[in-house]
């Protein structure tokens, strides 16, 4: 790495916020009382989240781990922290909405009443 990996400092909160919004939209559209769970949009969002959790997230996590393992000494700690943060934060966020993430170490279905509160999610975002 020739330049400082600033994207890790600036984009993590944006990613978590965007995913949080996506999961909230999915939850609302699939609500039987106020949403339209049989709509094309509901199906598209469900498919996207499935793709995210089973393919995109594990692939990006593996890519980030590879970058961390091969980074120069100057930036290896930064990339290792980014890897560990994403390994922990994204599955925690997804499980708070009842999703499971393929390839997440130690991942299992969330136990009842162990969802993150909005305040806990905000704390995760602020821990940059």
Phi, psi of 89, rounded to the nearest 5 degrees: -70, -45
Q: Is the dihedral of CA 56, 90, 113, 30 positive or negative?
A: negative
Residues 6+ apart with CB under 8 A from 34: 28
Whole-angstrom Cα distance, residue 23 to residue 94?
Answer: 8
Residue 37: the pLDDT is: 93
What predicted TM-score, i.e. pTM, was given to this entire model? 0.67
User: pLDDT tens-digit profile of 30-87?
Assistant: 889 999 999 999 999 989 988 888 888 888 888 888 888 888 888 888 888 888 888 8
Whole-angstrom Cα distance, residue 121 to residue 84?
Answer: 17
């Amino acid at each position: 790495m020739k330049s400082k990996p600033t994207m890790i400092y600036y984009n993590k909160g944006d990613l978590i916020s965007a995913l949080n919004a996506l999961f909230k939209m999915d939850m609302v559209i699939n609500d039987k009382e106020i949403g339209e769970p049989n709509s094309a949009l509901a199906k598209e969002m469900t498919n996207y989240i499935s793709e995210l959790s089973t393919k995109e997230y594990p692939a990006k996590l593996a890519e980030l781990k590879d970058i961390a393992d091969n980074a120069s000494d100057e930036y290896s700690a930064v990339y290792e922290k980014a890897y560990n943060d994403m390994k922990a934060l994204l599955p925690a966020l997804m499980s708070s909405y009842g999703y499971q993430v393929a390839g997440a170490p130690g991942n299992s279905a969330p136990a009842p009443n162990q969802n993150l509160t909005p305040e806990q999610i905000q704390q995760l975002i602020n821990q940059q």
